[in-house]
Structure 1
């Protein structure tokens, strides 16, 4: 799916989040990476095979800057 040089990491790679974003919908809170992974603003993910990845990064506490 990726046409970048060098190619972005595939969806199954540990660093798959480093792939380029090809579609971004901030009003809906999600973006599509060129490796087929859908990333959500809360850090959850939807993999190309349909598996979901739960929120996996610490979010700042209420009232604290990011």
Structure 2
């Protein structure tokens, strides 16, 4: 965390400051989940990991079986 968002003198942003993971509103400096120590960060990472895992498993290449004569 780069700074304490609760002590930040900057005004919160209406649209860009909304965090979709913890539902709080932050200034431009603290709007990213990493910069405000987001409480929903781990759930976001877990969901992204699972989605990526499922996509990679669907796209897995399976070697064709070749009949030996």
Same fold (TM over 0.5): no
> Shorter-chain TM-score category?
under 0.3
How does the TM-score come out when normalised to structure 2? 0.26
Question: Relative CO higher for 1 or 2, CA cutoff 8 Å, sep ≥ 6?
Answer: 2
TM-score by length of 1: 0.27
User: Relative to total residues, which structure has the larger strand share, 1 or 2?
Assistant: 1
